[in-house]
Amino acid sequence: MKPEQTGLYCCFYQSGEHWSPYSDALHLVMTGSYDKPTLSSMSGTVMASGHNVRLQCFSRIKFEAFILTKEDAPQFTQRKSSTAKDNGQQTTFHLDRVTSTEAGTYRCYGALREDPNVWPHPSDPLQLEVREPPLDPTPTEPEHPQAMDHNQTQDHQSILIGFPVAIVLLLLLSLLLFFILHHRHRKAKKNATETKRQQQQAAGPMDRLASEARDPQDVTYIQVAFNAPTPGTASAPSLLPGPTQASEYATVARR
């Protein structure tokens, strides 16, 4: 392999009088012409998915550009101009929001402007590991103390508001129960009075007076005799009852 053999290559074929289109370009470089640069990670070699990674390539040789490659991924190639630092040249490659796709082995090369396809030996491999988050949801963080105090204050306010409301409801329920019982008592008393009145109306006068007495001894029967005067005896009433005497019985009840 010689430097003049490096560059872009394409192929095509002829079928009869017709020629096929050109194939995709193949970039052919030659390595091992210079000492290898160094590749390091400024963010660590084990990263969580979604983080940013910075890879730095450095060489004492005055390379105008550095090339970053990834093994098993020929389509991945980054080329970036270098800057002077510490009597050498360096550049920083950025990998933003890495995922498991970016995990793998990386190497870097240097190149000169007058011979861009002649590279040094590759740097030592750098293994980048990307860890995906667990499938299970992460545990929720404890609430902020101020948020907890605010929640407790709301709970206390709810208790203070709910307690008087419960007392008012209990009083209303008690009043409703009292009115229902009082109404039933008055209705029962009225029915008893009406029944007693009907019984008294159905009974005779003697039975009604007797029933109103508290004790049978309280009822007294009195015989009243009426002496009617006869003709010719108006001035000297007879002491003995005459034929016109009338008797009447009356029932006297003591109240």
Q: 111-124 burial, b if ≥16 CB within 10 A, otherwise e?
A: bbeeeebbbbebbe
How far is Cα 29 from Cα 220, in angstroms, rounded to an integer? 150
Identity (one letter) of the amino acid at 218?
A: D
Which two three-digit tokens encode residue 88?
């050498």
Q: Which pLDDT score, from 0 to 100, does residue 153 have?
A: 63
Span 127-158, pLDDT tens digits: 999 998 776 655 555 555 565 555 666 666 66
**Does the structure show a pLDDT above 90 at 18?**
yes
**Does the structure show a pLDDT above 70 at 197?**
yes
Conformational region of residue 86, where left means phi above 0, alpha means psi within -120 to 50, and beta covers everything else: left
**Does the structure show a pLDDT above 70 at 221?**
no
- The answer to whether the beta carbons of residues 38 and 126 sit under 8 Å apart is no
Burial class (CB in 10 A: 0-12, 13-18, 19+), 108: buried
Q: What average pLDDT does the segment 107-122 reach? A: 94
**Does the structure show a pLDDT above 80 at 110?**
yes
Q: Which pLDDT score, from 0 to 100, does residue 155 have?
A: 66
**Beta-carbon neighbour count of residue 195 at 10 Å?**
10
**Does the structure show a pLDDT above 90 at 37?**
yes
- The answer to whether the beta carbons of residues 31 and 75 sit under 8 Å apart is no
Q: Which pLDDT score, from 0 to 100, does residue 229 have?
A: 56
Which two three-digit tokens encode residue 218?
């309280």
- The answer to whether the beta carbons of residues 90 and 110 sit under 8 Å apart is no
How far is Cα 97 from Cα 130, in angstroms, rounded to an integer? 10
Q: In this predicted structure, which of 11-25, 74-88, 181-195 has the lowest mean pLDDT?
A: 181-195
Q: Which pLDDT score, from 0 to 100, does residue 32 have?
A: 92
- Of the two residues 96 and 72, the one the predictor is more confident about is 96
How far is Cα 222 from Cα 205, in angstroms, rounded to an integer? 16
- State what percent of residues in the chain have pLDDT above 70: 67
Burial class (CB in 10 A: 0-12, 13-18, 19+), 130: buried
Q: In this predicted structure, which of 29-38, 117-126, 178-187 has the lowest mean pLDDT?
A: 178-187
Span 153-188, pLDDT tens digits: 666 666 667 677 888 888 888 888 888 888 888 888
- pLDDT band, residue 245 (cuts 50/70/90): low
Q: Which ranges constitute the DSSP H helices of the chain?
A: 145-202, 205-212
How far is Cα 82 from Cα 173, in angstroms, rounded to an integer? 88
